[in-house]
Amino acid sequence: MKTHLSGASRRIPRARRGVALLTALMTIAVLVSLTAVVGRAARNSANLTANTRATLVARAMAESAVLAARVAIETRLGAPLPGAPQPGAAPADTSALDTVYDALFDPALRTPFVTDSVGDGAFAATLVNVSARLDVNNAGVEGLTTLFRTVAPRDEAARIAARLDAYVRGTDTPAAARDSLVRRDSLFAALLGQSATPRAMRPFDSLDEVEALVGADAPWIGAVAEALTVDGDGRIDRRRASPAVRAAASGSLVDRPTRVLIVARGWQRGSAVTQEIQAVYAIQDRELRLVRWREQSR
């Protein structure tokens, strides 16, 4: 016996077709979302890799700038000079050595001391004669006031100078903590057979710290920034320091620089990442000895 199915019974119910369509749309939406997430993750990973590489290249270039500047300085200081009895010996004509220093720290030179590139990396370095600046950490109230008075009223200059000196000497810290450090210094000095000297309790590590402490109350501090340092050794280069620095100097005056600051910057071409290294060297005869090393990304 034949069974005849009606047309209505052969058709798929509308409810089932609606569910299938909804399922398909949801599947497509999920796939699109997953594709977007995967694509975004891939782009982020690529950007992270590129930034990491740019940072590594920038730092390598900055270190190369420090090394290149140091080699260039030592080469110039170690080159045979007129009047020297033999190559590498101390020059008899001191004016020839002064000429070398004058060329190294010529204030009219605003171009980098050294600059070069390696692959897609590049670097540049400039020099700062630290000995021609007033050291915030050992200038004292009187020295800082004398310098600040060149750009600020006397009372305001004295107030800011006292604030900086109090920070450095630790007189704004609890007496117990300060006295313990003084006693320790006195003990060490006694064991070494020396007299205890005043110490900088909290020396500034950078001029950025100086500005952060007093910048809001002394907007003029930037006007004397090029006359200040935190890397000095208490000696002032009288031949190259400005009259304002010489007038404010409380340390000994010398005829040649005793410290140099190399400000080195490195970067990768096409990237905004820049690495800066500030390396402070003590000048000993014709060689440089590392004293301080600071790094920051810009």
Q: What is the pLDDT of residues 103-122, one digit of tens each?
A: 898 877 668 999 999 999 99
Residue 214, pLDDT score: 94
Please tell me the pTM assigned to this model: 0.74
| Mean pLDDT value across the chain | 83
Each residue's pLDDT, cut to its tens digit, for the chain (298 residues) gives 455 555 555 555 655 666 677 777 778 877 777 777 766 766 666 566 788 899 999 999 999 999 999 999 999 988 765 554 454 444 446 788 888 898 898 877 668 999 999 999 999 999 999 999 999 999 999 999 999 999 999 999 999 999 999 999 887 665 555 555 555 556 555 666 666 555 557 899 999 999 999 989 999 999 999 999 999 999 999 999 999 999 999 878 999 999 999 999 999 999 989 999 999 999 998 899 999 999 988 7
User: Which stretches of 85-238 are DSSP H helices?
Assistant: 94-104, 140-148, 154-169, 175-191, 207-214
Task: Say if CB 135 and CB 230 are below 8 A apart.
Answer: yes
Which amino acid, 148? F
pLDDT at residue number 92? 45
Residue written as tokens 């060297």? Answer: 281
260: nearest Cα among 221, 296, 286, 297: 286
